[in-house]
């Protein structure tokens, strides 16, 4: 009898220990999940008094998207601090800082990177950089002086500095504090921050003359700037050296860098200058659209059609419901005209 009791209590003990272990694992996983939700800050929105909103979304690895109606920014957050890609408009600088603070966990902003010079991507440069500090020490700190170290580096292609320091008529003049402090003129600038390689890849003569793709190699995310957008036809800034062939080249480079997970879906994530997070298939479709439109216009120019005739032939018809617009700063007519001017001048030059 005693032996049976002992046996029963032994079996009960095993059962209770098993139940306790299952409960402990369940509790642990709940705790981990709660912490993860807090850290990733999925779906958070920062609202301004004026009614504007910045949505905060995790993308991959250390990179988050900060999305506003006026355009996208991104942040990489890690043990060394925060790297910010693009700074939206000047009006959104304060809510952008608030949105960054929800992810930064008290860590300082070390770098601002600009994909190009337009004011909807550089407007907050001065405020965002001033809120940060440089990652320097020892002799360098002495050379910079206290004031110099109190602001984050601003990194961009040399032509971004040229554009911001010499604005054309109608472009806003940004203060000296908003200008890039660290520029490059080669094809590529390599950085290493928060334990991952970050590459700035210059794509010449595309949306402007100073566009860079920003590639976070471990996080597997690329910020494309305005060479790739999901909300409109690509804007070709003719006054700033933009060209349809450069945009197609930039999209081809992007397609080369992006690796899909399965059946061209998933994998490397692309953050457009405006619009939603994309994968390889999205970029391939956009590249194909841009190439087909360019080829159609090129063919019409070769046949001697005028701009009015090309516009009337509607070379973009297949995509107008998705990307076209009759209003705003970048209409379908302006897009077709820019492609026409690029193609016409190229074919004249090659004659
Ligand atoms: Zn732009």
pLDDT digits (tens, 9 = 90+) for 260-317: 998 778 899 999 999 999 999 999 999 999 999 999 999 999 999 999 999 999 999 9
Distance 116 CA to ligand 1 centre (A): 7
Residue 40 pLDDT exceeds 50? no
Judged against a pLDDT cut of 50, whether residue 38 lies above it is answered with: no
262 DSSP 8-state letter: B
Q: What is the 3-state secondary structure (H, E, C) of 53-118?
A: EEEEEEEECCEEEEEECCEEEEEEEECCEEEEECCCCHHHHHHHHHHHHHHHCCCCEEEEECCCCC
Question: How far, in Å, is the centroid of ligand 1 from the Cα of 161?
Answer: 15
pLDDT digits (tens, 9 = 90+) for 226-267: 999 999 999 999 999 999 999 999 999 999 999 999 877 889
Please give the Cα distance from 56 to 59 (Å, whole number).
Answer: 10
**Ligand 1 geometric centre to CA of 226 (Å):** 5
Q: Mean pLDDT, to the nearest integer, of 75-94?
A: 96
Distance 335 CA to ligand 1 centre (A): 14
Instruction: Identify the CATH class of 42-350.
Output: alpha beta
> Which pLDDT belongs to residue 290?
98
Distance from Cα 81 to the centre of ligand 1, integer Å? 27
CA of 122 to the centre of ligand 1 (A): 10
What's the whole-number mean pLDDT along residues 170-179? Answer: 86
Q: Work out the average pLDDT over 180-202.
A: 97
On the question of pLDDT at 17 being above 90, the answer is no
The alpha carbon of 20 and the centre of ligand 1 are apart by a number of angstroms equal to 58
Domain map of the chain by residue range? 42-350
CA of 328 to the centre of ligand 1 (A): 14
What is the Å distance from ligand 1's center to 18 Cα?
60
Going from the Cα of 172 to the center of ligand 1, the distance in angstroms, rounded, reads 14
DSSP 8-state secondary structure symbol assigned to residue 273: S
How far, in Å, from the CA of 268 to the mean position of ligand 1?
23
CA of 118 to the centre of ligand 1 (A): 5
Taking the centre of ligand 1 as the mean of its atom positions, its distance from the CA of residue 139, in whole angstroms, is 38
Q: How far is the CA of 273 from the centre of ligand 1 (A)?
A: 7
d(CA 10, CA 16): 10
Ligand 1 centroid–CA 211 distance in Å is 9
Q: What is the DSSP letter of 265?
A: B
pLDDT at position 148 is: 53
Could you report the per-residue pLDDT of 144-169, keeping only the tens digit for each? 555 556 799 999 999 999 999 998 87
Confidence (pLDDT) at 266: 86
CA-to-CA dists, residue 322 to 69, 111, 283, 333, angstroms: 17, 35, 15, 15
CA distance 208 to 226: 9
**What is the whole-number distance in angstroms between the Cα of residue 257 and the centre of ligand 1?**
21
Ligand 1 centroid to residue 288 C-alpha, Å: 21
Most confident of 141-145, 168-172, 180-184: 180-184
Query: In this predicted structure, what is the pLDDT of residue 31?
Result: 41
Q: For residue 310, how far is its CA from the centre of ligand 1 (angstroms)?
A: 25
Segment 304-323, tens digit of pLDDT:
999 999 999 999 999 999 99
9 near 15, Cβ under 8 Å? no
**Å from CA of 213 to ligand 1 middle:** 13
State in Å: Cα 242 to ligand 1 middle.
10
Percent of the chain residues topping a pLDDT of 90 = 73
């Amino acid at each position: 009898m005693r032996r049976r009791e002992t046996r029963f209590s032994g079996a009960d003990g095993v059962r209770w220990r098993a139940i306790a272990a299952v409960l402990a694992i369940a509790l642990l996983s709940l705790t981990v999940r709660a912490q993860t939700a807090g850290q990733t800050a999925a779906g958070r929105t920062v609202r301004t008094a004026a009614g504007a909103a910045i949505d905060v979304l995790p993308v991959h690895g250390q990179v988050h998207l900060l999305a506003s109606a006026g355009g996208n920014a991104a942040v990489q957050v890690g043990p060394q601090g925060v790297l910010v890609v693009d700074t939206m408009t000047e009006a959104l600088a304060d809510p952008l800082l608030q949105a960054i603070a929800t992810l930064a966990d008290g860590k300082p902003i070390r770098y601002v990177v600009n994909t190009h010079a337009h004011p909807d991507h550089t407007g907050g440069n001065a405020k965002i950089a001033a809120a940060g500090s440089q990652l320097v020490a020892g002799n360098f700190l002495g050379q910079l002086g206290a004031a110099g170290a109190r602001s984050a580096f601003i990194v961009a292609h040399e032509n971004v500095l040229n554009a911001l320091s010499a604005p054309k008529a109608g472009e806003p003049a940004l203060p000296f504090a908003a200008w890039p402090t660290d520029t490059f003129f080669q094809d590529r600038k390599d950085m290493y921050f928060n334990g991952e390689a970050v590459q700035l890849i210059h794509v010449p003569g595309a949306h402007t003359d100073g566009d860079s793709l920003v590639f976070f190699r471990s996080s597997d995310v690329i910020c494309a700037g305005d060479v790739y957008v999901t909300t409109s036809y690509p804007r070709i800034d003719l006054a700033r050296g933009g060209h349809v062939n450069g945009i197609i080249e930039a999209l081809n480079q992007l397609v080369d860098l992006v690796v899909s997970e399965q059946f061209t879906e998933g994998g490397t994530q692309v953050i457009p200058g405006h619009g939603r997070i994309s994968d390889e298939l999205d970029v391939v479709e956009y590249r194909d659209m841009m190439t087909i439109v360019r080829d159609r216009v090129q063919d019409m120019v070769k046949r001697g059609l005028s701009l009015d005739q090309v516009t009337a032939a509607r070379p973009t018809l297949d995509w107008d419901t998705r990307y076209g617009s009759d209003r705003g700063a970048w209409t379908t007519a302006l897009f077709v005209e820019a492609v026409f001017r690029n193609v016409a001048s190229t074919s004249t030059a090659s004659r």
